[in-house]
Structure 1
Amino acid sequence: MSGPPTASEDAPIRVLLADDHDLVRTGFRAILGVEPGVEVVGEARDGDEAVQQAQRLEPDVVLMDVQMPGVDGLEATRRILGPSSPTSEVRVVILTTFDREDYLFEALQAGASGFLLKNASADDLVEAVRIAARGDALLSPEVTRRVIARFSTPGPAVQPRRPPELTDREFEVLVLLARGATNAEIAGELYLGETTVKTHVSRVLMKLGLRDRTQAVIYAYENGVVAPNGPSRDGSET
């Protein structure tokens, strides 16, 4: 599996705005339009248009609203990031207010790279675009807590399975990723350099066929690699 594309250091980050409110798109365009190294290449008023524009313009990042008429942002994300889609490597950042957890988990499972609150500051908006363009995930502590809470609810037991593709060290990194640890925190926990941690994270994602850290968290809990507030597969507490 090839890794997600990242914007060239020389080329501007190409952004597509998808929101049914003209005022929101205008505001985002104004903020991003004056930012060096960022270019707004298009706008969409609904999910269907967002899919078409993503295929035509090939942006690096799509800022995607959830609630839009016709095809909503969740379905548009699924279409853009589907494995057979020509735009499957585009990064999608969901615009959300966190008022609907079903939106959150549907977007995660569709492959979204992260979430941005609609009341975020201009600096947060720019940083979200840059993070997504680098190929990283916007996995905030709030999102991590919600993922953990989701998989803490009663349900069918999942047989813990240690992914055979991973080395012992890569498995340790996956467990820490599932706890929401940053690269710096993983480095401190495992007494490694951050560059080495980045290499391990990349290998974990590649071997498991995952897009980013967000999907790594979901994978870990869905497959019983770690258990909320309980032991991981290797017996350590999570």
Structure 2
Amino acid sequence: MQDPVRVVVADDHPVILFGAEQALLKFPGLQVVARARQSTELVKVLQTVACDVLVTDLAMPGGQYGDGLPLIGYLRRNFPDLPIVVLTMLENAALLKRLSELGVTSVVNKSDDLSHIGLAVQHVSRNLEYMSPSVKASLDTLRMNAGGKNEEVMLSRRELEVVRLFVSGMTIKEISEQLNRSIKTISTQKNTAMRKLGIDRDSELFQYAQSNGLLNLSSHSVGDTGGAS
């Protein structure tokens, strides 16, 4: 008899955590061996509990290892052989591209049926990639819009600076005064950054910034992030 696939589930919302676990239990051969609510708990679990696949939310604030892309990067460096299924509400092009660059081969959107979590675990446990329907649709749209070109999404230092200040709570006028640039220039740089990232609304920009760790960057470190968007 084949050994069960041991799964660790991490999410800061109890309802999602419970729903994901129940969805996984419907798949024969999958076994939930531990749960975590933030990155501190998650890393401790991974260091002490044997598991084959990690299913983790992307936005889990509060832990000492952060969340979003910085957390995924930490997990990939410290647990390089552990397949990861990422749960998220975000579908923007830059985020999906960065997850792929970090070695994540499976992303499930929380708006899709939770059964896709089980399907994703089955796939990554066999070294296969899996994207839930809405994520796949976003990737297909991205490829069509790019006309088949695989272009790098990069923000300039100034665009990153504007995004960081904007998501920190400053208005366009306040940013223009602090950086000594015109309001029109700041607005253009913000809009250009959003266009490059495939983002239409300010709320998505805040989510992107959180996922990329931009909310925690100090001003002198912004320039180091240009190639990581």
Q: Which category describes the TM-score, using the shorter chain as reference length?
A: 0.5 to 0.7
Contact 1:92 1:113 in 2 (8 A): yes
Deviations 1:79-121 (A, max 9, x none): 2211xx2x21110111122344333233222211211010222
Distance 1:116 1:96 in 2: 7
Q: 1:136: which partner in 2? A: 128
Q: Which residue of 13, 31, 34 corresponds with 1:39?
A: 31
Distance apart, 1:48 and its partner CA: 3.0
Deviations 1:60-85 (A, max 9, x none): 11111111113104222212211xx2
Distance 1:45 1:103 in 2: 22
How large is the RMSD of aligned CA atoms in angstroms? 2.7
Distance 2:123 2:35 in 1: 20
Do the aligned partners of residues 75 and 50 (structure 1) sit closer, same or farther apart at CA in structure 2, a change above 3 Å counting? farther
Instruction: Single out whichever of 51-60 and 13-22 deviates more from structure 2.
Output: 51-60
- For the residue of structure 2 that corresponds to 1:151, the secondary structure is coil
Superposition map of 1:44-59 within 5 A:
44-59=36-51
- For the residue of structure 1 that corresponds to 2:130, the secondary structure is coil
Residue segments in structure 2 that go unaligned for 5+ positions in a row: 155-229
Could you tell me the TM-score, scaled by structure 2's length? 0.55
Superposition map of 1:179-198 within 5 A:
none
Q: 1:112: which partner in 2? A: 104
Q: Does 1:72 align with 2:34?
A: no
Do the aligned partners of residues 43 and 108 (structure 1) sit closer, same or farther apart at CA in structure 2, a change above 3 Å counting? same
Q: Which residue of 16, 20, 27 corresponds with 2:12?
A: 20
Could you tell me the TM-score, scaled by structure 1's length? 0.53
When you count helix as a share of all residues, which structure comes out higher? 2
Distance apart, 1:132 and its partner CA: 1.0
Superposition map of 1:215-226 within 5 A:
none
Contact 2:19 2:114 in 1 (8 A): no
User: Identity, % of aligned pairs?
Assistant: 26
Distance 1:154 1:121 in 2: 30
- For the residue of structure 2 that corresponds to 1:94, the secondary structure is strand
Contact 2:93 2:139 in 1 (8 A): no
- For the residue of structure 2 that corresponds to 1:125, the secondary structure is helix
Residue segments in structure 1 that go unaligned for 5+ positions in a row: 1-8, 156-238
Count of residues in Structure 1 that have an aligned counterpart in Structure 2 = 145
